[in-house]
Structure 1
Amino acid sequence: MDPPVSDLDKIDDQKEKGPSFHCDLYDTELVHKISQTFLPGLATACVDNTTGDIFRSPGSVAADIRKEMIDYLTHRSETFVAEHIVLQGGDSDSSEASHHPLDVVSDFIDDFATSKRNLFSRVSGWLLSERREDNVDDFAQEMEISGFWLTDHRERLAQTLLKNVDFKNAFHCEMKFRTGEELGEHGLSCGYRTMDCENEGCNAVFCARQMESHDSVCPFKIVPCEQSCDESGIMRREMDRHCITVCPMKLVNCAFRAVGCLSDVQYLQGSFSG
């Protein structure tokens, strides 16, 4: 027979397990991209649901279809792992379908929009018409301008969907800690902490792990001339103009081209060729 568990043992056991503090940081850029797919998807569902109906317009059904869409996406994301991983025997690579969260959520949205098509949309040539595309774009823009579905609300939904479908933990942090202090310390170094670009003029926001990749292409970063002139403070987005127009190392026609020389020379050298 096991010895009785004392109250002190219970307290020690609770301390050992402790409360679980989860890091809820994520790839901010990916969340933004996912949130950007919601309005076009909702617009598609609303337009296809009311096409040919003289009594209803996309705007008249938008609120109800948005609620249905949120519930649908949430439910699909919650069952995604069970449907596509567990039922495949745990082999996450057995399916050819992309498991990237943006692709997964985009597929969910397409499935939802397809389910909302009315009979006219299904049996007519509406789905392939240019007018349909224009109507979808116009309605999506109308909702954006009117603030029908605010950006922060869409991004909160995107965060939930990302964490539900990102079973490989490739785009959000799943680390857990025993105390809030430990979580706070982790937040200062977590690869998913939000950062702003430090290059003047750039408004990009990204997670820390993407800092180097962004910095390598940031159009506002000050870099040396690609043609190795003495100019060292050139904004990357101005590089092409600099190299073609004012750079002393740009290539120009030889001064003797008129008498047969077809070579290109650097502008600085050409200026002394005479």
Structure 2
Amino acid sequence: MELQASEIAAVKDEDASFHCQNSDGEIVHKIAQLLLPGLAAACVDNTTGDPFKTPASVAVGLRKEMVDYLNARSETFVAEFVVPDDSEPDSIQEIPEDPAEIVSIIMDDFAASKRSLLGRLSSWLLSESREDKIDDFVQEMEAKGLWMIDRREAISEPLLRNVDFKNAYTCSMKFPTEEELDEHKQRCGFRPASCTNDGCKTKFCAIHSEKHDEVCPFKVLPCEQKCEQRIVRREMDRHCITVCPMRLVNCPFYQIGCHSTFPLRTLENHCSEFIHSHLLYVLQVVHKDEASIDELKERVQLMEKAELLEELSQARDVRSLALAVKEHAARIRTLEEKIDKVSLT
């Protein structure tokens, strides 16, 4: 059949155009992951009730059929949704926006067309046994390398382009020369990209660079608790909980009365600042009911006069401070005796 002049012009224009073929690799991979379970479902349903066939025996043939079916249906799927049903001229079905969902619908249609008579007439399609057999066959195909992920991704890319009716996941740009196309590919939002964080091997299209950077486990970040260190994101929680000098800790004298909480790095300052109250808490434990609170406060004042507070503030727990107090008891007694003599004179 001869082409009309307008059609010839369109063909020439199409031949002269250079199309950018970049697409969202994440969605391509998502579709590719659906293909194996889709094929497994078709193979299991097709051989149900047939003692002479197994899913593995029909897999290769059905795989080719399914790929051809997916390619053909994906090219017309959007139009099928837009064109009203003959019985309801005013009704237009809503098209799923997720390309993977569209491909899944097409695969379900293919599997339905391949079901055996027994499968059509029984409740087999709803049984747990069917799902188990599909899962088992998926694992069998993966173990045997029947349909590797790279080959499935090669099939998935044109499927994505066919069903991406909003061009949300594929680049639709065309250029009159190859040079212009090459220049565009350097800045295309759908161009392949890799994470630049040391240790991360994730690949994605450039449009998702910022999204990946926000969650990349290998990105080096300032400590969330504002210490001077920079930590890899995946180590941040461990750092903040175990080794960060800014992690919050309870006062080592918490159990005997000081209920302060502060960053670990300020422990020394806290112990120095609150040595009076820490000493009082320890003396209450050591002397129990032997002395009144006023007498214990006087004992703290004596320690201060004996210039013991700075030394005692080095203690970092109840036991060490109590031992230090006992070790310096003689010096305190000497000071008490001096005070008594002064008061007598």
What's the TM-score, normalizing by structure 1? Answer: 0.84
Closer, same or farther: CA 155–265 of 1 in aligned 2, 3 Å:
same
Closer, same or farther: CA 265–23 of 1 in aligned 2, 3 Å:
same
| TM-superposed deviation, 1:66 | 0.8
Matched, 1:41 2:75: no
Corresponding residue of 1:255: 252
| TM-superposed deviation, 1:266 | 2.5
Matched, 1:60 2:53: no
Corresponding residue of 1:268: 265
Corresponding residue of 1:144: 142
The answer as to whether partners of 2:217 and 2:234 remain within 8 angstroms in 1 is yes
Match of 1:72 among 69, 73, 92: 69
Larger Rg: 2
Match of 2:99 among 93, 98, 101: 101
| TM-superposed deviation, 1:42 | 0.6
RMSD: 2.4
Q: Which has the higher helix share?
A: 2
The answer as to whether partners of 1:252 and 1:266 remain within 8 angstroms in 2 is yes
Unaligned runs of 5+ in 1: 1-14, 89-93
Identity over aligned pairs, percent: 57
Closer, same or farther: CA 252–127 of 1 in aligned 2, 3 Å:
farther
**Letter in structure 2 aligned against 1:241:** R
Closer, same or farther: CA 72–249 of 1 in aligned 2, 3 Å:
same
What's the TM-score, normalizing by structure 2? Answer: 0.68
Unaligned runs of 5+ in 2: 1-11, 86-91, 272-345
| TM-superposed deviation, 1:222 | 1.2
CA distance in 1, matches of 2:14, 2:37: 46
CA distance in 2, matches of 1:207, 1:18: 27
Closer, same or farther: CA 32–255 of 1 in aligned 2, 3 Å:
same
Match of 2:151 among 143, 149, 153: 153
Corresponding residue of 2:182: 184
Question: In structure 2, the residue corresponding to 1:43 is in which secondary structure?
Answer: helix
Closer, same or farther: CA 83–184 of 1 in aligned 2, 3 Å:
same
| TM-superposed deviation, 1:225 | 1.1
CA distance in 2, matches of 1:160, 1:186: 20
CA distance in 2, matches of 1:265, 1:122: 69
Corresponding residue of 1:24: 21
Question: In structure 1, the residue corresponding to 2:179 is in which secondary structure?
Answer: helix
Question: In structure 2, the residue corresponding to 1:111 is in which secondary structure?
Answer: helix
**Letter in structure 2 aligned against 1:80:** F
CA distance in 1, matches of 2:13, 2:122: 65
Closer, same or farther: CA 255–96 of 1 in aligned 2, 3 Å:
farther
Structure with larger RCO (C-alpha < 8 A, sep 6+): 1
